Structure 1
Amino acid sequence: MDKRLLSLGHGFSARALAARLVPEGWHIVGTTRSADKMDQIAATGVEPVQWPGTDLGALIAEFPNILVSAGPGPEGDPVLAELRDAFVAAASGMRWLGYLSTTGVYGDHQGDWVDEETPLTPATRRGQARVVAEAAWQSIPDLPVHIFRLAGIYGPGRGPFAKVRNGTARRIIKQGQVFSRIHVDDIAAGVALSLDAPNAGAIYNMCDDDPAPPEDVIGHAAALLGLPVPPEIAFEEADMTPMARSFYAESKRVRNDRIKSELGWSPLYPDYRSGLAAMLELGETEEP
């Protein structure tokens, strides 16, 4: 297998994948918008490229495997907006393209279960933008697209511990609210399995096995730290930003049966309790 990967939008999930692949001999090129992050990326064994600002056409033509982590903005998918022609030209010779999407494309199901066959009825602008972006990637002829719909991502440096420690964590209660989650290392494991066994057109939900109310996660994090459990605040009374409030517009439980059966994936952290315990054990509780 040709172990070359171009990572467009080399963020949290892509860095976890690189940490898995670089020791296996992969050559990874990762893009970043910020010149300040170039050295940080290089220190992980990934070749950094600043983009926008660099012509990526030659890399897209050369690299057989491409991961797209950059999310859509107000003007749509930023990668396709600038580079669609390059992908059209390279599609037939490409081995694998992974697109990191979100389970937000399913919208609100009032706590019921969804899977990859569930109609896409997003309830937020972010979810709507993801539906459009998924369709845009799928519309390019011969492009070997693999879509990963990710639940709420957490992991080292991205979790509830810092807020619990500094007293800003809140247990916001909305009747019937439930979320699915995924540890970033489990995302990396699933994407790596797909790289090993490409299946163009595949769509995979990625989440753990235990959807749970958000207040339960905050309470458990406090208990692990031996700190007081933050008091309950009714959703209707909570002072929240529009972005934070929008997360509560959707309640659903996400099934992960397909990626388990097709790729043999099994989450290392099947619930938030195991994931948080591992983070605390490693001492990775603060923002990097």
Structure 2
Amino acid sequence: MVITRVLVAGCGDIGASIATNWAEKGAHVSAVRRTGTDFPEGVSGITADLTNISPSQLPDVDLIYLIMTPQGRTEQAYRSAYVDTAKALESRYAKEDQKSTPKLIFVSSTSVYGENQGEWIDESSIAKPQKDTAKCLLQAEQILSDAFGACSARCSGIYGPGRYRLIEKVKSATEWGINSWTNRIHRDDVVSGLMLLGERLLDGAAQENKTSPLPHIILTDDTPVSMWEVKLWIASRIGATVNAGDGCDFIPQSGKRIQANYLKECGWMLTYPSYVLGYEQLLLEKGEVVR
């Protein structure tokens, strides 16, 4: 029996869940994190900066997940986290014959789509980033696509356990500002989508699917929604004051509406298809008064 070898490059919240799931499937899993030694059970941990690691520290593998978090919102922070890391993995693993190169999934962002007037976006849309940080993401995608034939999983805004920023904003006295279209996905659904994608890449099903939009797919829930709608719902559940401001227009003035099609065609089922189910769970977890 051939044992699958998986490397999770970036063992944070989502990476740790990916590593655990593959280990439970019987895979030999290695994981890298920049600091700390808290790795999931059954996972071989490596504490190192991927941009400054000895190639001998990285094992031979069949599948790589690259799941980085930049240390800031600047262009340089994104370049270091994504572009420099992509080049480091290319140096270690890429071979002239891509068939002998590991499969790679890069967790990217829907920010690479620069549309901002309520347009609908799906996997057939062309990425035209406007922000410098998003341009760094697209550059990393291209490096990894050229070197590995990688698939970039473009995630919308990720929320879930321990991520209370929006709830805290609604509770504060801060005025809500201009309304916009927003897109999000629960971290549990990110994990399940990435697991399914990895399985398909390994068994070759993705390449055989003539309708596949690879080298990129989208991970988002079924409910593009205005930011104010989400804030109004949260406010109604916790009894917070509505801070929309006087004379404000409830019609979204910016943003985009995003659809995920490819993984659904592969059988991906969302646990949290809308913000209502996901934030209800978060409010219970946080101990807020649900009204």
TM-score range, shorter chain: 0.7 to 0.9
Match of 1:130 in 2: 137
Amino acid at match of 1:48: G
- Pick aligned residue for 1:195 from 195, 198, 218: 198
From 187, 205, 223, the equivalent of 1:210 is 223
Question: What is the deviation of 1:127?
Answer: 1.2
Deviation at 1:120, TM superposition (A): 1.5
- Residue 151 of structure 1 contacts residue 207 of structure 1 at CA under 8 Å; is this kept in 2? yes
Deviation at 1:48, TM superposition (A): 2.2
Q: Which residue of 2 aligns with 1:59?
A: 58
Query: How far did residue 169 of structure 1 move?
Result: 7.0
1:178 corresponds to which residue?
181
Tell me by how many angstroms 1:214 deviates.
Answer: 1.9
Alpha-carbon shift at residue 49 of structure 1 (Å): 1.1
Give 5+ residue unaligned stretches, structure 1: 237-247
Aligned partner (choices 35, 46, 51) of residue 49 of structure 1: 46
* Offset of residue 278 of structure 1: 2.4
Residue 219 (1) aligns with residue 226 (2): no
CA contact (8 A) 2:20 2:43 kept: no
1:103–1:149 CA contact under 8 A, matched in 2: yes
Within-5 A mapping of 1:138-157: 138-140=145-147, 143-157=148-162
Amino acid at match of 1:220: W
Matched, 1:232 2:244: yes
Q: Could you list the per-position Cα deviations for residues 253-281 of structure 1 after superposition, in whole angstroms to 9, with x for gaps in the alignment?
A: 111122211x2112110010011122334
- More moved, 74-83 vs 25-34: 74-83
* Contact 2:94 2:101 (C-alpha < 8 Å) held by counterparts: no
Distance (whole Å) between structure 1 residues aligned to residue 106 and residue 228 of structure 2: 30
Distance 2:3 2:101 in 1: 11
Q: Secondary structure at the match of 1:84?
A: helix
- Displacement of 1:212 in angstroms is 1.2
Rounded to whole Å, the distance in 2 between the matches of 1:26 and 1:168 is 46
Distance in 2 separating the partners of 1:145 and 1:92: 12
Separation in 1, partners of 2:253, 2:108? 18
Q: Displacement, 1:233? A: 4.9
- State the 1:282 CA deviation: 4.4
Indicate the structure whose relative CO is greater, using CA pairs within 8 Å and at least 6 residues apart: 1
Provide closer, same or farther for how the CA distance between residues 169 and 131 of structure 1 changes in structure 2, counting only shifts above 3 A.
farther
Question: TM-score by structure 2 length?
Answer: 0.78
Q: Secondary structure at the match of 1:173?
A: coil
Distance across 1 between alignment mates of 2:199 and 2:11? 20
1:203 deviates by 1.7
Distance of aligned partners of 1:21 and 1:281 in 2 relative to their CA distance in 1, 3 Å threshold: farther
Deviation at 1:112, TM superposition (A): 1.5
